[in-house]
Structure 1
Amino acid sequence: MAFDDLGRSGARVVVLAHNLLAHRGSFAAVATRLAGRARVVNVDLRGHGDSRGTPRAFSTADLAADLAAVLDGIAARDAVVVGTSLGAAAAVELARTRPEQVGALVLIAANPYEASARDRLTFGALATILRTLGPGPVLAGVLAGLHAPDAAAEVRGATTAHLRAMDRRDMARAVRAWVARPALLDGLAGLRVPARVVVGGADSPALAAAGRVLADRLGVELRTVAGAGHTVQAERPAEVAAIVEDLLVEPGP
C-alpha cells in the first residue's frame, strides 16, 4: 500500500481514500490544506496509483482491510475517514468492521445502492475493454464520469496521465470491485459517528438523489459543492478541506 503521511504527529488522523480509477494525487491539495491541523494519511487504494500490481481480484472489503492495516501500522484510532465513491464504500466497511478506528466519516459522491443489472452490464463491458485494450477507446467517457465539463485543464490532465499509466488488470479488477460493492445503507446500521455527506453539483442527478437518501439515513445535511463533478476533492479542494476541518473540532463518538 502506497500512502503519504503528512502533517502534525500526535494530532488527530485524517484518512483520504479516492474514487474508482483516481489516485491519491486527487486529494493532494486537500491533504496540504489539512496538514496544519491534523495528521493526514493520503492513500492509493489497491490497484490504483503506486499501489499497483494486484495479484488477484479484490473487493471493497479488501480495500477496507487495507485501510485498517495502514491505520494499524501507524497505531491510529478515532480517525476521520474521508472517502469518495469507491473510497466511501471502503470507509463504511471499515467503520462497520473496525469501529474503534473510525471516529467520523465524510462520504463524497457515495452511491448507497448495490449495482443495478444495467450497471453490471455497463461496468462489466468497461472492465473487459480496459483489460484487453486499455483506457484509450473509453478515455473520453471515463473522464466525463470523473470530472465536470469545465474542470481545470490541469486536473483533467493529471487524471488522463494516471489512467494511461494504470495496469490494465488493475483497472479491470477495480471496476469489478465497484460493480460487486454491497449496499452502503446496510453497513450504516448501528453506526454512531459524526458524518458528512457531500455531492458535486455537476455530478449526475442520480448521485445527487442518492446522496439525499444517504444523508437522510445518517440524519445529516447534504452538502452540495457547486460546479464540482464526481471527483470533488480534485476540483474543489478548499471546500472539501473546510468540511473535514469542521469535523476535526467535533468530538468523536
Structure 2
Amino acid sequence: MPAIVREGQRVVFDELGRSGGRVVVLAHNLLAGRGSFAAVAAQLATRARVVNVDLRGHGDSRGTSRAFSTADLAADLAAVLDALAVRDAIVVGTSLGAAAAVELARARPELVGALVLIAANPHAASARDRVTFAALATILRTLGPGPVLTSVLAGLHAPDAAADVRGATTAHLQAMDRRDMARAVWAWIARPALLAHLDGLRLPARVVVGAADAPALATAGRVLAERLGAELFTIAGAGHTVQAERPREVAAIVEGLLATTGP
C-alpha cells in the first residue's frame, strides 16, 4: 500500500480513481480510520483522483513513537500531497481530520483548493472535555478499548447505525495500539480553536453535520458555515462518523464541489 515517512512516522494511504483530474483527500475522525471513508472513496473515484489517508496513530499508520498534534497531522497530509505532486485538492475532514484540514489550508494554502468539514468542532477543548478525554486516554493506554467500547461506539455512531458499520468500527478499535489511541486522544484534547484559523481563508467550503450527532455540533456547524460563507448540510440519521453511516450523501456533497470548482 502507498505510504510516506515523515520524521520517522509512516503514513499510509489509498490512491484510487481517475488520474489527471481533480484530487480529493479524505481525512477521518478520532479513533476511526480510512476504512470509514472506503464507500465514499469508491463513489468519488469515478469522477476524481482520491487519496484516502490513515491519520498518524490510526489504522495502518500505527506505531507512533511520540506525542503528536493536529499540526503534525496537517504536516503529514502536506507530505502526502507533496509526494504525489498534488496542489489545489479538495480536502474532506471529519472532526479530528477537519481540524487537520483547516491547519493544512492555513499552513500550505497552495495545497488546498476547497474544504469539506464534517462533524467539526470549532472550539478548543473545554475544561470538562479535557478531564473526560484525559480519563479516556488513560483507560485506552492502560486497558485498551474493552472497558469503554460501548461509550466510544456511542460517541462515534448513531444509535441505529447499521450493524456492519458498528462491527467494522469495533474491529478497527480492537486492532489499534493502546499508545496510539491515547496519543490520538491527547491530540484531540490539545487541538486549537478552528475559528482562529479561519481568518484569511478564502476558498469554497461545505460544512456537514449528522442530525444524530451531539446537539452542540449542530450549533458548531452553523457557526463554521457562517464564518466560512459555506453551505451547511445536515444529514438525517447520521451520527459523528457521518462518512461511514451515510457515504452516498457525503460523496454527493463532494461531487457538488467537483462540479462547481473546476476540473
- TM-score band by shorter chain is over 0.9
Aligned match of 2:47 in 37, 41, 48? 37
Deviation at 1:19, TM superposition (A): 0.1
Deviation at 1:107, TM superposition (A): 0.0
Within 1, Cα distance between the matches of 2:169 and 2:126? 27
Aligned match of 2:149 in 117, 130, 139? 139
Question: What do the CA deviations read for 1:154-211 (whole angstroms, capped 9, x no partner)?
Answer: 0000000000000000000000000000000011100011000000010010111111
Deviation at 1:139, TM superposition (A): 0.3
Higher mean C-alpha displacement, 212-221 vs 174-183:
212-221
Aligned match of 2:255 in 232, 235, 245? 245
- Confirm or deny that 1:154 pairs with 2:169: no
Question: What do the CA deviations read for 1:85-131 (whole angstroms, capped 9, x no partner)?
Answer: 00000000000000000000000000000000000000000000000
- What TM-score, normalized to structure 2? 0.95
Within 2, Cα distance between the matches of 1:145 and 1:157? 15
Correspondence for 1:193:
203
Question: What do the CA deviations read for 1:202-233 (whole angstroms, capped 9, x no partner)?
Answer: 00101111111111111122110000000000
Contact preservation (8 Å) 2:22, 2:48: yes
Aligned match of 1:53 in 63, 70, 73? 63
Aligned match of 1:224 in 234, 237, 261? 234
Within 1, Cα distance between the matches of 2:217 and 2:18? 34
- Confirm or deny that 1:169 pairs with 2:179: yes
Within 1, Cα distance between the matches of 2:247 and 2:66? 33
- Confirm or deny that 1:89 pairs with 2:99: yes
Within 2, Cα distance between the matches of 1:45 and 1:110? 16
Within 2, Cα distance between the matches of 1:204 and 1:103? 29
Runs of 4+ in 1 over 4 A off after TM superposition: none
Correspondence for 1:203:
213
Q: May I ask how many residue pairs the two structures share in their alignment?
A: 252
Query: What code does the residue aligned with 1:139 have?
Result: L
Within 2, Cα distance between the matches of 1:51 and 1:229? 25
Within 2, Cα distance between the matches of 1:11 and 1:217? 29
Contact preservation (8 Å) 2:27, 2:52: yes
Query: What code does the residue aligned with 1:142 have?
Result: V
Deviation at 1:251, TM superposition (A): 2.6
Return 5+ residue gaps in structure 2 as ranges. 1-10
Correspondence for 2:192:
182
Correspondence for 1:26:
36
Give SS of 2:46's match: coil
Between the two proteins, what is the percent identity of the paired residues?
Answer: 84
Give SS of 1:249's match: helix
Question: What do the CA deviations read for 1:126-160 (whole angstroms, capped 9, x no partner)?
Answer: 00000000000000000000000000000000000
Alpha-carbon RMSD: 0.6
Give SS of 2:90's match: strand
Aligned match of 2:125 in 115, 119, 123? 115
Query: What code does the residue aligned with 1:136 have?
Result: G
Deviation at 1:21, TM superposition (A): 0.1
Aligned match of 2:86 in 65, 76, 91? 76
Within 2, Cα distance between the matches of 1:74 and 1:221? 30
Correspondence for 1:63:
73
